[in-house]
Amino acid sequence: MRPIHDMLTAASGRRSFHMPGHKGRNPYAPVDVYALDTTETPLSDDLYAPERGIDAAQRLYARAAGAVRTLMLTNGSTSGIHVMVQLYCREGDTVLLPRNAHLSAVNGCIMGGVKARWMPVSMTVDGLCYMKESDVLAAMDAHPEAKAVFLARPDYYGCCLPLERIVEAAHARGMRVIVDEAHGAHFPWAGGVKSAGACGADAWVQSVHKTLPGLTGSAVLHLADGADHARALRLLRREQTSSPSFVQLMSIDDARAYMEERGAAQLATIADAADEVRRMLPSLGYADAHAMWCDTGLQFDRTRLVIDAPQGGAALAEALQERGVDAEMHDLRRVVFILSAMDAPEDALSLLSILKEISPQRANIPALPMLTAIPEQAMELRQAAMAECVNVPLADCAGRIAAAPAGLYPPGVPLVCPGEVITAEVADRLMNAKNQERFGVEGDTLLCVNA
């Protein structure tokens, strides 16, 4: 029996608008990965002391991405985010984190003993959570001791916070800017929205497997200053396996090569096709979510298609799935499609004929409750996460100190983070939500500091 092989075979061959960005297609001729899989040998290389193929590939990628140095990652963007946080913040230092930062940023702080000071997120009336430039600037003024500002852009919806003024303000204060650009690996070849590096960021991470034809788990960490390379490499050895996948490394290099050879042109045609889909949506009873958010001050990735569905996101995603189409994700109102250079324009345009088959009958979609205020911080992240902990019933956890992040999805923003005092409102929201709508909750309990 080969249950995983059978599972993957059954899941393949469908129309994919989700990760990975290769969409099941090899950008070059098919290869036998078992024949190429190897480790450090006299004829290969060493990821942590590269001299041959890996060194050349990293330099080529850095040139393509506008970085001074690039480090290849085989543990995904998570390992790069851990490195970035600890690259500029030593134990006891402070980093400014957006409240909707990926969990890996929180874990990077915990592992490095870095203090997190949270920046609040705003929410539109239809539930989009996003950072405002003014809130980032205010956080810098409130915490001049911060060594770095951490930002995430684009988000799952392709929304991008403009960075230039933030970077200028941070550097004027002696702060570094680090960016989780996991969903923007295609930016160096996309035109339109600039990459974090082009905006002046000091370090930025991109997931090659999300929007480029890299194997799952492949990513890159870019540095704007070569002087940061030695420490970043030391940190990376601590964060990643000592046996990295050379096949993954090959896929990172192949993704870069493909984009330079013909992927950029292909990506432009895909973006044009996505624009055509957006233009036709109203005639089919749907709407382009990006157009609904144009007053937020955000910029939008043209290759990320976000459809506002009158029948609700879950209903549209299910109807598409029944027709052999797999979207990246859905929320209460929307369905999100990832397009990459491995898609053909007709792949995107086929959505129009499929949407014609699906009735956009309007449903009663509940409004998301407004975000709660960030709770009082009683302990630092690492102190709370490493403390002796106990699972406390949700009905009894008000007033306790959280030892793990917890919240609701959507919108995916933590209601409480490690070290914060759990309020009665937070406990009530978690208790009254369905299990599939909650994260960080274990059964009907929440992990709390045992005090």
* Per-residue confidence (pLDDT) for residue 435, from 0 to 100: 85
* Per-residue confidence (pLDDT) for residue 13, from 0 to 100: 83
CA distance 36 to 80: 25
Closest among 273, 265, 279 to 345, alpha carbons compared: 273
| Contact in structure between 88 and 109 (CB atoms under 8 Å) | no
CA distance 16 to 24: 8
| Contact in structure between 110 and 282 (CB atoms under 8 Å) | no
Q: Which pLDDT tens digits describe the chain residue by residue (451 residues)?
A: 999 999 999 988 888 888 999 998 999 988 898 999 999 999 999 999 999 999 999 999 999 999 999 999 999 999 999 999 999 999 999 999 999 999 899 999 999 999 999 999 999 999 999 999 999 999 999 999 999 999 999 999 999 999 999 999 999 999 999 999 999 999 999 988 999 999 999 999 999 999 999 999 999 999 999 999 999 999 999 999 999 999 999 999 999 999 999 999 999 999 999 999 999 999 999 999 999 999 999 999 999 999 999 999 999 999 999 999 999 999 999 999 999 999 999 999 999 999 999 999 899 988 888 888 999 999 999 999 999 999 999 999 999 999 999 998 878 889 999 999 999 999 999 998 888 889 999 989 999 999 7
- 263-356: CATH homologous superfamily? Aspartate Aminotransferase, domain 1 (3.90.1150.10)
Q: Fold for domain 381-449?
A: Ornithine Decarboxylase; Chain A, domain 4 (3.90.100)
pLDDT digits (tens, 9 = 90+) for 23-79: 989 999 888 989 999 999 999 999 999 999 999 999 999 999 999 999 999 999 999
* Per-residue confidence (pLDDT) for residue 296, from 0 to 100: 96
Residue range(s) occupied by CATH 3.40.640.10 in the chain: 33-257
* Per-residue confidence (pLDDT) for residue 370, from 0 to 100: 83
User: How many other CB atoms are found less than 10 A from the CB of residue 401?
Assistant: 24
Closest among 266, 98, 274, 284 to 186, alpha carbons compared: 266
Residue range(s) occupied by CATH 3.90.100.10 in the chain: 381-449
Q: What is the largest CA-CA distance in the chain?
A: 64
* Per-residue confidence (pLDDT) for residue 360, from 0 to 100: 92
CA distance 112 to 108: 6
* Per-residue confidence (pLDDT) for residue 436, from 0 to 100: 83
Mean per-residue pLDDT of the chain: 95
Provide, rounded to the nearest whole percent, the portion of the chain with pLDDT above 70.
Answer: 100
pTM of the complete model:
0.95
Structure tokens at 162: 């403009």
Please say whether the dihedral angle defined by the alpha carbons of residues 42, 48, 51 and 53, taken in this order, is positive or negative: positive
Residue range(s) occupied by CATH 3.90.1150.10 in the chain: 263-356
* Per-residue confidence (pLDDT) for residue 367, from 0 to 100: 82
Where does 33-257 sit in CATH, by number? 3.40.640.10
CA distance 240 to 220: 13
| Contact in structure between 12 and 326 (CB atoms under 8 Å) | no
